[in-house]
Amino acid sequence: MARNRPRAPITSPAAATVFSTVLTRGPVTRVDVARRTGLSSAAVTKAARPFIEAGYMAEVAAEERTVPGAGRPASPLDIRAEREFFVGVKITGDDLIGVVTDLRAQVHNAQRHPLQSRAVDSVVAAIVNLVRALLAESQEFLERAHCLGVAVSGDVDRASGQVRYSPFLGWHDVPLAELLEEATGLMTTVENDVKALTIAEQWFGEGIGASSFALVTVGAGIGCGLVANGALVTGAFGVAGEIGHVPVADGGPPCHCGGVGCVEAIASTHAIVAQARLAVGEPELSMDQAVARARSGEETVRRVFAQAGHAIGLGLAAVANLFGPERIVVSGEGLAVYDLFDQQIQESFARQAFGSAARCGLAIRALPFEEWARGAAAVAVQTMFAPESTRSRQHAGHLNT
Ligand SMILES: [Zn+2]
C-alpha cells in the first residue's frame, strides 16, 4: 500500500519551537508560548496557524476571565494527540518490544515478539512483521502512522541511521534506518536506547521544564543520558555521560570495557550475579535465587547488593558533581530489586555529592520494559517535528507496507 509522507507543516525553526512548546506544555496561550520561546506574539500566531489548519493543534475553550474589563479571554492552544500515531520498537538481544503511541507518547498498543536470530535480515523481517501487527489493530493507526522510531543499545549514529556497533546483536555498521524505511514505508529514525529514553523523559516525563537533567538506567548495563540547556548531550565523539564506566573501586573487578572497578563491573545484573556466586560458592546461582536469598536476610548476598547500590550512588554523585543537573532520574529493569540497594544508593550519593550539587533531586523508579519502546516512539515524534533543514538524512517518499 502506497503511503504519503506526514504533512506536518514544519517550515522553520520557529514553527518547530512553537509546536514543541505546545506539545510539552499545552494547553497554553499564545502569549505564554511567546513568553517561553522569546518569539513575538505575531510570530507565534503565524507559526501556529498551519498546525491548526492541518489538524495537529486546536484552540480549546478559554476559561472565563474573572476580572471585569480584562478583555476577550485568550483561547489556549493544545495538541490534538490522535492526529498522528507513531510506532516505536526496542531491539534487545532476545526479542522485540513494539508500541503504537499518539503525539504525546501515550501508548495505545503494545506487543512483544521473540527474535529467532540476530542476523540483520532476520531482525529487519521481524520488525516489519511487528510493525504490521501493531498497525493492523486499528484503521486509524494504518491511516495516521507515518513514522517509526527504533532503539538499540550500543553506538548508534542517528544522523546517518547507522548502527555502528551493537554488542548484544553483534552488529557493525548496519544501515538500519534505510533498510527499515524501504521495508516498511515509514520514515525511520534509529537512536541509542538510553538516549531515546532520555528524549521521552525530556519531552513527556520528569524532564519537562528542567533545563538540565540526567537519566540513569540500571540493569544489564548502566547507562546515562544527559540534557543540558534543553538539548541532549551527544559528545564530540558520540560518547557522553558514560556513568557505567566511571571507576569507583580501585583494584575492583575488571570491566568488559578494559577498565577496572567501573560502576558497571559492580552493579550491572551480570556483575551482581557473578559476585553473588563467588560470595556463596555456588557457580550456578541465578539472579532470582540471589534476590530471594538476599531478601530472606542472607548477609553475604545482601552485601553484594549493598556494594552495587554503593557503586551506583558514587556514580550518581559523579554526575551531580561534574554536571550539576536539576534532577537525576534513576530507572531501569534492575530497579525491580530496588529494596535491596535503595539505602546504599541514597547514602553514598549524599556522602559524595559536593555541596549544593546534592540538592539535585533523585527520582528513583522501576522501568516497565515497554517504556524502552515508548522512548523509540518519542524519537519518531521528535524527528517528525524537527525543522526540515535539520534532518541530515534525506527521507524518501513512502513506499510499501
Ligand atoms: Zn568499564
Percentage of the chain surpassing pLDDT 70? 91
8 Å CB contact between 17 and 39: yes
pLDDT greater than 80 at residue 265: yes
Average pLDDT (264-273) is: 95
Ligand 1 centroid to Cα of residue 314, in Å, is 15
Average pLDDT (279-283) is: 96
Ligand 1 centroid to Cα of residue 152, in Å, is 19
Ligand 1 centroid to Cα of residue 243, in Å, is 9
Asked: is 84-198+371-390 a CATH 3.30.420.40 domain? The reply is: yes
Average pLDDT (357-384) is: 89
8 Å CB contact between 186 and 398: yes
Torsions phi, psi of 328, nearest 5?
Answer: -125, 125
Ligand 1 centroid to Cα of residue 260, in Å, is 7
Domain layout of the chain by residue ranges: 13-79, 84-198+371-390, 206-367
Rounded to two decimals, what is the model's pTM? 0.85
Give the pLDDT band of residue 240 (cuts 50, 70, 90). confident
Q: What is the pLDDT of residue 69?
A: 58
Which numeric CATH code is attached to 206-367?
3.30.420.40
Ligand 1 centroid to Cα of residue 136, in Å, is 43
Ligand 1 centroid to Cα of residue 167, in Å, is 14
Ligand 1 centroid to Cα of residue 318, in Å, is 15
Give the pLDDT band of residue 261 (cuts 50, 70, 90). very high
Other Cβ atoms within 10 Å of 355 Cβ, number: 7
Going by C-beta distance under 8 Å and a sequence separation of 6 or more, which residues neighbour residue 393?
A: 159, 160, 161, 177
Average pLDDT (132-152) is: 96
Domains 84-198+371-390 and 206-367 equal at CATH topology level:
yes
pLDDT greater than 60 at residue 388: no
Question: In 3D, which of 180, 118, 115 has the Cα closest to residue 149?
Answer: 180
- Bridge partners of 87, per DSSP, are 100, 148
Q: What is the pLDDT of residue 392?
A: 46
| Segment 346-361, tens digit of pLDDT | 999 999 999 888 888 8
Ligand 1 centroid to Cα of residue 253, in Å, is 10
Q: What is the pLDDT of residue 196?
A: 95
Ligand 1 centroid to Cα of residue 185, in Å, is 39
| Segment 334-346, tens digit of pLDDT | 888 888 988 999 9
Give the pLDDT band of residue 68 (cuts 50, 70, 90). low
Which CATH entry fits the domain spanning 13-79: 2.170.120.12, 1.10.10.10, 3.30.9.10, 3.40.50.300?
A: 1.10.10.10
Ligand 1 centroid to Cα of residue 93, in Å, is 20
Percentage of the chain surpassing pLDDT 90? 65
Ligand 1 centroid to Cα of residue 115, in Å, is 28
